Amino acid sequence: MIQSFQPQVLSYLNNLVKSRSVISVQDAGMDDPVYGVAWMTDSVSVDQSRSASAEPSGDAAGVQLEIQSVRVDELRIPDDTGRAENNFISAALEIYSPWVVKSLRRRKCRRRWSWTAGDGIGARFGWGGGG
């Protein structure tokens, strides 16, 4: 199981959102998860269906950025030397993050606030890893 907690938006420019997130990884048979940090770049597009009304700031109320793809730029997990395992975790984040998170509010990216998956406090998904 991989969990991503409270990703922090670092920048938003030219349809790219750069973020940093604490992650936890817990394979079958592990008593406790291992925590690390992932730096990611999301390719996004503006959901035009939600841009009808504008806020005083000039941003449309509730405009959502649809996540098209995710790239893990860097992954750090303390005491983890398994390059293949890190590649697997990075690939799982890249594949499943757009399905789980789906979108984020543009104004939060512009203000460099944190974002969450839906109304929860993070994104969570499983994978078919052995163990």
Q: Do the domain assignments include residue 117?
A: no
Q: Tens digits of per-residue pLDDT, 41-82?
A: 999 988 766 554 544 444 555 678 888 899 999 999 887 667
Q: Do the domain assignments include residue 116?
A: no
Q: Do the domain assignments include residue 125?
A: no
Domain count, the chain: 1
Q: Do the domain assignments include residue 17?
A: yes
Domain span at residue 67? 2-111
Query: How many residues appear in the chain?
Result: 131
Query: Average per-residue pLDDT in the chain?
Result: 75
**pLDDT value at position 69?**
92
pLDDT of residue 117 exceeding 80, the answer is: no
The token pair that represents 50 in the structure block: 């939600």
Residue 91: pLDDT band with limits 50, 70, 90: very high
Rounded to two decimals, the pTM is: 0.70
Q: Do the domain assignments include residue 130?
A: no
Q: Do the domain assignments include residue 90?
A: yes
Q: Do the domain assignments include residue 30?
A: yes
Q: Do the domain assignments include residue 131?
A: no
